[in-house]
Structure 1
Amino acid sequence: MTALPEWMHPPRVEGWFAEDLDRLPEAPRHTELIDGALVFMMSPQRAWHSRLIFALRQSLAAQAPAGFEVDQEMTIRLDKYNRPEPDVLVTSAAYDPDRTYFTPDEVRLVVEVVSPESAHRDRTVKLRKYADAGIPHYWRIEDETGAPAVHVYELDEPTKTYVASGIHRGVLRRPVPFDIDIDLAGLIPPRS
């Protein structure tokens, strides 16, 4: 077994801190921090996953009113030990070319597209962490034989937990965080 590169060793006993991600240029793209541990997206991304993210981001950006930004490949600094990177996010933050993360109070919607290696984190871990951080809307997208199924959650403020508000197939219409109307079937070409 070969030794780990020096940059992979946590800088302290408590593990990694959120700000450490900005000082790890050697880390692979899509490195997240979950509970003080680095999580690398090492498995190859499926074409379905990649195309869905691109098409969804384009659709949301086209519908977003002034004051909303749609991004991907950006982390959210939830706290000292957690800085996940959702697949798509909608924020109320003004564009800043030097920004490397958002804070929960700037995020209005987080979208995770489930892949085999991220399924547990997307369905349970991130669901709880985003709710605890107060992010108002969470969508989890599952692949149902090539078609996207969007599991929509809204934050119940007093309990800081998400309440399921529907599973959308074919079409997704939502009044929050802004008026959204998406032809889900049109986001991904059908399997041949």
Structure 2
Amino acid sequence: MHDVTSALEYWPSPPPWGWTADDMDHLPPEGPNGEPDFFQHVELIDGALVFMSPQKRFHDYVIHGLRVSLSAQVPPHLFTLSEMDVKLGHRMRPCPDVLVIDAAAADDLDRTFYTPDEVHLVVEVVSPESEERDRKLKPARYAEAGIAHFWRVEDDGGRPVVYVYELDPATRTYAVTGIHHGKLSVPVPFPIDIDLDDLPR
């Protein structure tokens, strides 16, 4: 059993035994050279620490707008939140932009991550630096973990376009069920109607 302190001795290389999902709860507040908030925006993708770059206003605007819109429509047994980890496996702990989870899980204010069986929807807002992860890698991992619904949001000249996917349980892969411009209206995971051109700011 190795601890995070010994792992950081190999920085910037990963430790020989690799990073794990549980390590994410034990990263220090400062970086290896004393950098403040160094590990504040990091996720674990296939055993690699991925640092998220500063985001454009579009990214923050869409995350906020979708969270507010979903929160206004979500049924009582579910809850909407943003930028919380989902532990998909021993070496996979991404941080989706928006999630819909079981309300009972959200009631525990000490939680640092959720498990796939508690998650009903994950949303990723694509940034230039995250295109490969958000379009290919993370959706495949979410589907393999059994998360039923996935949305990918793209920036079309400052307007959000939402690609909606639903899990095929037989193949554990996502199938696209709609591409939404201007207005998003879907019946699952619960009835949702969102004006994409007028998201809450």
Instruction: Tell me if both proteins adopt one fold, taking TM over 0.5 as the criterion.
Output: yes
Cα separation, 2, equivalents of 1:23 and 1:34:
17
| SS at structure 1 position matched to 2:166 | strand
Cα separation, 2, equivalents of 1:90 and 1:10:
35
Q: Partner of 1:34 in structure 2?
A: 45
| SS at structure 2 position matched to 1:55 | helix
Q: Report if aligned partners of 1:48, 1:188 keep a CA contact under 8 Å in 2.
A: no
- What is the Cα deviation at residue 8 of structure 1? 4.2
1:132-147 matched pairs, under 5 angstroms: 132-147=144-159
Letter in 2 for 1:116: P
- What is the Cα deviation at residue 89 of structure 1? 0.4
Deviations 1:67-122 (A, max 9, x none): 10111121000000000000000001422110000000000000000000001000
Letter in 2 for 1:166: G
Q: Partner of 2:195 in structure 1?
A: 183
Deviations 1:41-81 (A, max 9, x none): 1x221011111101110000111010101111210000000
**Is residue 2:53 matched to residue 1:50?**
no
1:86-125 matched pairs, under 5 angstroms: 86-94=96-104, 95-125=107-137
Aligned length: 184
**TM-score, scaled to structure 1:** 0.91
Aligned residue among 77, 80, 91 for 1:70:
80
What 5-or-longer segments of structure 1 have no aligned partner? none
Aligned residue among 16, 20, 32 for 2:23:
20
| SS at structure 2 position matched to 1:118 | helix
Q: Report if aligned partners of 1:147, 1:188 keep a CA contact under 8 Å in 2.
A: no
Cα separation, 2, equivalents of 1:62 and 1:12:
44
Deviations 1:138-191 (A, max 9, x none): 0000000111000000000010000000100010011111110000000178xx
Is 23-32 or 136-145 further displaced after alignment? 23-32
What 5-or-longer segments of structure 2 have no aligned partner? 1-7, 30-37
Alignment RMSD (CA, Å):
1.7
Aligned residue among 77, 93, 110 for 1:83:
93
Letter in 2 for 1:118: S
Q: Report if aligned partners of 1:89, 1:108 keep a CA contact under 8 Å in 2.
A: yes
Q: Among all aligned residue pairs of Structure 1 and Structure 2, give the percentage whose two residues are the same amino acid.
A: 56
**TM-score, scaled to structure 2:** 0.87
1:159-178 matched pairs, under 5 angstroms: 159-178=171-190
Q: Report if aligned partners of 2:154, 2:162 keep a CA contact under 8 Å in 1.
A: yes
Letter in 1 for 2:61: R
